[in-house]
Structure 1
Amino acid sequence: MDLYPLKFDPILKERLWGGTKLKEVLGKEITSDITGESWELSGVAGDVSLVANGELQGISLQELIEKYPEDLLGKSVVDRFGREFPILIKFIDAKQDLSIQLHPNDELAKKRHNSFGKTEMWYIMDADQDAELIVGFNKNVSKTQYSNSIEEDKLLDLLNYEKVKEGDTFFINTGKIHAIGAGVMLAEIQQTSDVTYRVFDFNRKDKNGNLRELHTNLALDAIDYERKEDFKVTYAQNEDTVNTMVSCPYFNTNFLNLTQPLELDIAQRDSFSIYMCVDGSATISNNFGKANLKKGQTVLIPAKSNNLHINTTNAKLLEVTI
């Protein structure tokens, strides 16, 4: 099969904290005023992405993996993850603060939920004035101090706040307490996992008047209580080249700030490649076809590809591989 650049139908998710920027800024076809997430590329059971372009339109990502595992994913990826797509790609719009939460590591997630853990990264695409994130603690804390803060409703006093602007990038290790703040729209790259431990939700109620479930006890053994300056990503933004952003065991992400066409030889990559357009537009071609990409869209380049041509005069792209 000639595996051309594949685009997928967004899977849109209403969230208590969602808004309308996914429509207003990224052009997603939403009708709700509380759409918080657009899952761009997902192998999560029950939310598997469907191809949106070309002769494979309507075919699910999982079906493609079953038919063309190594051609689509790469042999090294199949050897490691089998026929499970290993990452989840999203755009997120937070009109309100998200709940304060964290994610377990692989070992704990496997033991408790038969799942991967959830290491993730965020690229800020849009931020209201004074918008901020919560990332980690503002000092080292003990489990006892943390537990007391939960009981006394003083958790917010222990948390680290980071003001953000477009282009800021954050790497969120498993165990790190965090929350996306109101007024932030971002691109998220994460391990394929939907395991989240919610520890504080500002005492909000859902549309039925109920408080959302908290995972206080599950979180206790999953939290990293140490204050660490390991979350802000410093990266080059040189034009018309590949700039390294994040390299970790679960994904590698690069930043492409393009003002002219770019040719990439990816024959030896042995991994699929994902391009998220975070600004501008481009046409991306491999040996078998092409796909047009604009801000807020994502394309999957099969591992079988040898050469990649990105035709643009103005595009900012996140390149993701395994």
Structure 2
Amino acid sequence: MYPLKFNPILKERLWGGTKLKDVLGKDIPNDITGESWEISTVPGDISVVSNGDLAGTSLQELIDKNSEAVLGKSVVERFGKEFPILIKFIDAKQDLSIQLHPNDELAKERHNSFGKTEMWYIMDADEAASLIVGFNKNVSKQEYTKSLEDDSLLDLLNYENVKEGDTFFINTGKIHAIGAGVLLAEIQQTSDVTYRVFDFNRRDKNGNLRELHTEQALDAIDYEKKDDFKVDYDREKDIVNDMVACPYFTTNYIDLTKNMEQDISNRDSFTIYMCVGGSATIENKFGSASIQKGETVLVSADSKKVLLKTNGAKLLEVTI
């Protein structure tokens, strides 16, 4: 298959804003648009091809018809005919709720779902914008529970100021929140299971408090203080820089000033390119697709070589 682009699935969120339009050029439906799901097979939110002869075809249809060609044999053996990751851009005009995600075992037992390991690449951040990632000290379950009761949870949390290019790896169980003024690219396991533990007592447009998952979260939280989240990666130009490698996805950073040809014949996996700066054309022997900042392309596993054509582009390259 030629490199595939998909119609973004745009999500209204209580905390959303307009950066998906203002910075990434997306045609958002309103000024509280918080997420653009770029590649998804989450039931009810399945991506549809937007370019070429396959336009109008869903990603799930393509996988069902020829799963190994799209995903790769090893990926099918692990995950079956389900696309194993979910690709998003997120705009937080307001702070997101403080939350965490269960691991695979808990998610399977409780929700018949994968867990949700994820990573964030900061694309744009207002001055003094920050994230919450983990605790600022080791916390007992009793101390955590008491902080919910006396409204002091924020005192236990670790805050990280951020700027463009900063990257964070969020393993399951780690309490976290995206702060106001942050626009980021998110790569995660295919899962929409979130345990919300604090939401700043906000109300939705109907005046209702959003549901909290206090009890479910208690056995899912990692209460230890860990400094394992900030990703230190090289940013050399015109080479592939290792960024994140975990059992669920591998992400590389590529800052191009000129064309690059890649031999991907030994991957046995699809490859995703998220454009986080500039523009490029992604080409294989079956065709090509042009992308600019805020767009995403999927290259199927049956591709042996890819030509990245550009005068300047920053790409996140994602495989399994």
Query: For the superposition of Structure 1 and Structure 2, which TM-score range results when normalised by the shorter chain?
Result: over 0.9
- Equivalent runs, 1:118-267 vs 2, <5 Å: 118-267=116-265
Give the deviation of 1:30 after TM superposition: 1.0
Q: Could you tell me how far apart the structure 1 residues matched to 2:316 and 2:33 are?
A: 23
Give the deviation of 1:287 after TM superposition: 1.2
Q: Could you tell me how far apart the structure 1 residues matched to 2:142 and 2:243 are?
A: 36
The answer on 1:97 being equivalent to 2:82 is no
Q: Deviations over 1:150-200 (max 9, x none)?
A: 010100000000000000000000000000000000000000000000000
Q: Deviations over 1:47-96 (max 9, x none)?
A: 00000000000000000000110010000000110000000000000000
Question: Which residue of 2 is the match for residue 77 of structure 1?
Answer: 75
Question: Which residue of 2 is the match for residue 291 of structure 1?
Answer: 289
The answer on 1:307 being equivalent to 2:315 is no
SS in 1 for 2:57: coil
Paired residue type of 1:180? I
Paired residue type of 1:284? I
Question: Which residue of 2 is the match for residue 23 of structure 1?
Answer: 21
The alignment-based identity, stated in percent, is 76
- Equivalent runs, 1:61-72 vs 2, <5 Å: 61-72=59-70
Question: Which residue of 2 is the match for residue 279 of structure 1?
Answer: 277
Paired residue type of 1:54? G
Give the deviation of 1:310 after TM superposition: 0.3
Q: Could you tell me how far apart the structure 2 residues matched to 1:72 and 1:218 are?
A: 36
Paired residue type of 1:230? D
Q: Deviations over 1:240-287 (max 9, x none)?
A: 000000000000000000000000001111000000000000001011
Q: Could you tell me how far apart the structure 2 residues matched to 1:112 and 1:167 are?
A: 35
Segments of structure 2 that go 5 or more residues without pairing to the other structure are: none
Give the deviation of 1:31 after TM superposition: 2.9
Segments of structure 1 that go 5 or more residues without pairing to the other structure are: none
TM, length-normalised to structure 2? 1.00
TM, length-normalised to structure 1? 0.99
Moved over 4 A (4+): none
Counterpart of 2:319 (choices 289, 314, 321) is 321
Q: Could you tell me how far apart the structure 1 residues matched to 2:278 and 2:162 are?
A: 21
Q: CA RMSD in A?
A: 0.4
